[in-house]
Structure formats: C-alpha cells, structure tokens
C-alpha cells in the first residue's frame, strides 16, 4: 500500500509540474519574430529592457528588420504582470531626409495582457530610433521605459 501511494504521489507531482498557467504559456509562445511576421530578424543589440526607475524589469522592447522589404518593426513584450491588463507602448521613428526630418509609427494599448505590436515603418537606407513603455498597474504604479538614445540600424 505504501509503495502505490508513493508512486501515485510522484505521478501527481510530475503532472502538476507540467501544468502551466495559461497566461504565462501564451506569453512564452510570443516572440518578436512571431509578432513582426515572416522575414523579420532581430537587429544586433536591439533587445532593450523596459525598466522602472528602481531598475525592475517589466519587459523588453525589440527592433527587427526585414532585408527584403526594407521595413523595421518594433514590439514591446511584457515579462511582469503577464495576463494582467496594463498600459503598453511601442514607438519607432525613421530619420528621413535631413537630420530633423522624421517619420513615426506608434501604437499604445491600455489593456494589454502580453505584448504590443507590431509597429512598422519603412527604413531602407535610413536610421531609426525606437522606444517601449510598460506601466505596472500594481500597488506601486511604476512605469518602465526603454529607448535607443541615438539613431541606429542605419541600413
């Protein structure tokens, strides 16, 4: 009797270990490549942490590029409060003719559970800047931001 109880308990524990919260399972299936679509690949050093002022990471903002089409894509993916509706933003700005000319794309959502995007702009032969924001609607109501401080991915 004792042996069968141990086996049953072990089976229950291993089944319990396989069960995953649906919100986290859905979030873990989200990748920047899936959000942006076919042909998009991450740009070197494009994964930027979205951090609060106390350095807590709420998620990441990613920049991807499609060599065939010349489009850039930005997405912001939450790692904190996944499954809870919070404010999330993704922005990309493409530098056009002249240093002060810009073309922008922005998307924001006030009830985002997992990620926001894609936000796409044409950028072949042009530099881009991008940013992501996530608000933690917990007790501290912290907001994290991430952005490239200068123009980059000039291709």
What are 139's two structure tokens? 């007790």
Model pLDDT, residue 5: 40
Model pLDDT, residue 7: 40
Model pLDDT, residue 25: 47
Q: For each successive 10 residues of the chain (155 residues), what is the average pLDDT? A: 41 38 55 95 89 88 94 92 89 73 66 89 86 76 65 73
Model pLDDT, residue 75: 94
Task: Report the candidate in 60, 155, 58 with the shortest Cα–Cα distance to residue 117.
Answer: 60
Domain ranges in the chain are 22-147
Q: Distance between alpha carbon 113 and the CA centroid of its chain, in Å?
A: 11
Model pLDDT, residue 52: 85
In terms of CATH architecture, what is 22-147?
Sandwich (2.60)
What are 10's two structure tokens? 């072990």
């Amino acid at each position: 009797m004792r042996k069968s109880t141990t086996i049953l308990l072990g089976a229950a524990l291993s089944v319990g270990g396989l069960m995953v919260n649906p919100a986290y399972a859905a979030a873990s299936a989200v990748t920047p490549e899936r959000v942006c679509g076919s042909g998009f690949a991450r740009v070197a050093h494009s994964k930027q942490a979205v951090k609060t002022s106390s350095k807590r990471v709420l998620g990441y903002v990613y920049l991807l590029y499609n060599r065939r089409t010349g489009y850039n894509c930005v997405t912001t993916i939450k790692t904190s409060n996944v499954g809870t509706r919070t404010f999330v933003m993704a922005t990309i700005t493409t530098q056009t003719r002249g240093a002060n000319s810009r073309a922008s794309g922005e998307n924001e959502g006030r009830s985002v559970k997992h990620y926001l995007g894609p936000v796409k702009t044409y950028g072949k032969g042009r530099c881009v800047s991008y940013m992501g924001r996530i608000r933690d609607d917990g007790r501290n109501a912290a907001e994290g931001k991430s952005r490239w401080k200068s123009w980059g991915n000039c291709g």
